[in-house]
Amino acid sequence: MRSPRNIEAELDAFLAQGRKKRRWLRWFLLTCALGCVLVLGGAAVAGYLFYQKLAADLPQVSELENYQPSLVTKVYDRYGELIADFFIEKRILVPLSDIPEHVRQATIAAEDRRFYSHSGVDTWGILRAAWVNLQAGGTREGASTITQQVARTLFLNRERTMSRKVREAILALRIEQHYSKDQVLEMYLNQIFYGHNAYGIEAAAQLYFGKSVKDLSLGEAALIAGLPPSPNSYSPLKNYKRSVQRRDHVLSRMVEAGYLTPEQAQAAQFDPLAVTPPPPRVHKASYFVEYVRQYLEEQYGPTALYRGGFVVETTLDMRLQQFAEQTMKQGLAQIDKRHGIYQGPLRRVELSGDAATDAPRIAAITMAEAGDQTIREGERLTGVIQAVRDSGATIAIKNTRGVLPPSGHNWVHQINPDLSAEIRRQLFQRGDVIKVRVTRVDPTGKMHTLALDQDPVVQGALVSIDVGSGHVLAMVGGYDFTKSQFNRAAQALRQPGSSFKPLLYAAALEEGLTPVSMLLDAPLTEDIAGAKGWR
């Protein structure tokens, strides 16, 4: 049996051990707390220094007060007909007031549903996107707000780095401190890329639907609003089915955001989408347009020319210009035919003789520049010789055929129409790719009559000037601008020759000379005071 003294000693020892453990626990907790404070403090300092480093060289968002996006420079003739445009980004600036509400709502629903409630960076959106992507096992949803996209497109690049994302977030917060939500949305809708070189909502509306943004239907607006994440993949010009699926997704997002009822969204899904093919680039009066382009670039610089959105009104009369180009081509072709030298085929293709095998190859050649399948009298076409006979050569043109009779190439001096077909075969062979002109259209469409044609070697130039004002009404610098950009009307340094005689004779008549006046045809020397004598 233990004595009371032993029990008391054991109790004191136990209490002492407890106090020692508590002291150790206090020191441990204190050390942990201090470590956490140091770590958090260090992280805060490091974060602050990182922020300062990234923020130090960021551009000033106040620069957006003078927001001037890259615009299209347009060139017009004297009557307002568009003859050319110059641009790096095809953009048509439009104020937010001219953009319908359903277009704005479609954009917000597709890109940033909480646009009007966040301050530039959507924290909840980041968490939601992270959760969705985690569940999907990959990137299915982004978290960049409309403001962040404005910051990225106007100030940064598209590199995928953490520092760029942080800089983007900083700029987005600063932008929203300086500008209203509507101002940010207007910048976005005018700046963002919608595919096929269309920048901004107005250019996109005109490209895909051939109409202004103010005339877009709900379905059309939803389709365009869904393009920015991947304009190439969702383009209705490249993948119509996928673009419709994307449109339907945007409509469902509009329902979730409360912009539409399910019935309105369903009605928009059945609304037909009349997607228009992209209009061809304007290529009119090429030599004159290039002359104007060089002048503008010399006077204002390339940046102003291609980004400034100039409206250039010229003195050109497009009606006279077309007549001048036609006359020049006809005149040069006549000179070339008077020379009578056949330049030979453009190239030669090997034909197997099997119609099923040869047809696709021939069609690829004859339809490449055809435009449509209609045959017109006087039309100039590329053809492929299929057979050479005494009666003439059979030529494949567009989706049909024609015959090139001996009379259709009698301008060629190497060919004597009275000679045998064997001599003719030395110039025309099966598989030759040649230029022909339609001289008679067969009403049945089976066998049209053709004449041999070719691009002339000889060149020419023409300028039509209003002598009263000095205005250039028409300018042609050569036979074909696509083959030679040298402007013989403005760049060629040629001796005037006899073209100067009317001016000389007019001055002589003005001085009282007559056609029978006698002049001494001998060397003349004139002494000029203070200058070198003229001889």
- DSSP-derived letter for residue 532 is P
Task: Name the pairing type of β-strands 462-465 and 472-476.
Answer: antiparallel
The set of long-range contacts for 439-446, using a CB threshold of 8 Å and a minimum separation of 24, is: 439/377, 439/378, 439/408, 440/377, 441/375, 441/376, 441/377, 442/402, 445/375, 445/400, 446/400, 446/401
Asked if 166 contacts 52 with a C-beta cutoff of 8 angstroms, the reply is no
**pLDDT for position 45:** 57
Q: Across-strand partners of 84?
A: 75
Name the 3-class secondary structure at 193: strand
**pLDDT for position 375:** 83
Q: What residues act catalytically?
A: 111, 498
**pLDDT for position 27:** 72
CA distances 527 to 520, 521, 522, 523, 524, Å, are 18, 19, 16, 13, 10
Asked if 69 contacts 306 with a C-beta cutoff of 8 angstroms, the reply is no
Locate tokens 């508590």: which residue?
22
Q: What's the CATH class of domain 95-269? A: mainly alpha
Name the 3-class secondary structure at 301: coil
Distance in angstroms (rounded) separating the CA atoms of residues 188 and 227: 13
Asked if 106 contacts 205 with a C-beta cutoff of 8 angstroms, the reply is no
Query: How is 227-263 classified by DSSP, letter by letter?
Result: -TT-HHHH-TTT-HHHHHHHHHHHHHHHHHTTSS-HH
**pLDDT for position 399:** 83
Asked if 264 contacts 219 with a C-beta cutoff of 8 angstroms, the reply is no
Asked if 335 contacts 457 with a C-beta cutoff of 8 angstroms, the reply is no
Q: Across-strand partners of 392?
A: 389
Q: How many CA atoms lie within 13 A of 73 on its CB side?
A: 20
Q: Which CATH architecture has domain 347-453?
A: Beta Barrel (2.40)
Locate tokens 């997607």: which residue?
275
pTM of the model: 0.71
Q: From first to last of its 535 residues, what are the pLDDT tens digits of the chain?
A: 556 555 566 555 655 666 666 666 677 667 777 777 766 666 655 554 555 555 556 667 677 777 788 899 999 999 999 999 999 999 999 999 999 999 999 999 999 898 998 887 877 766 665 565 565 555 555 568 898 888 888 887 666 666 667 777 888 888 888 889 999 999 999 999 999 999 999 999 999 999 999 999 999 999 999 999 999 999 999 999 999 999 999 999 999 999 999 999 999 998 888 888 877 776 799 999 999 999 999 999 999 999 999 999 999 999 999 999 999 999 999 999 888 888 889 988 888 777 777 888 888 888 877 667 788 888 889 999 988 887 888 888 888 889 999 888 888 875 555 555 555 567 888 889 999 999 999 888 889 999 999 999 999 999 999 989 999 999 999 999 988 999 999 998 888 888 888 998 999 999 999 989 998 888 888 887 777 777 7
Name the 3-class secondary structure at 218: helix
**pLDDT for position 362:** 82
**pLDDT for position 525:** 83
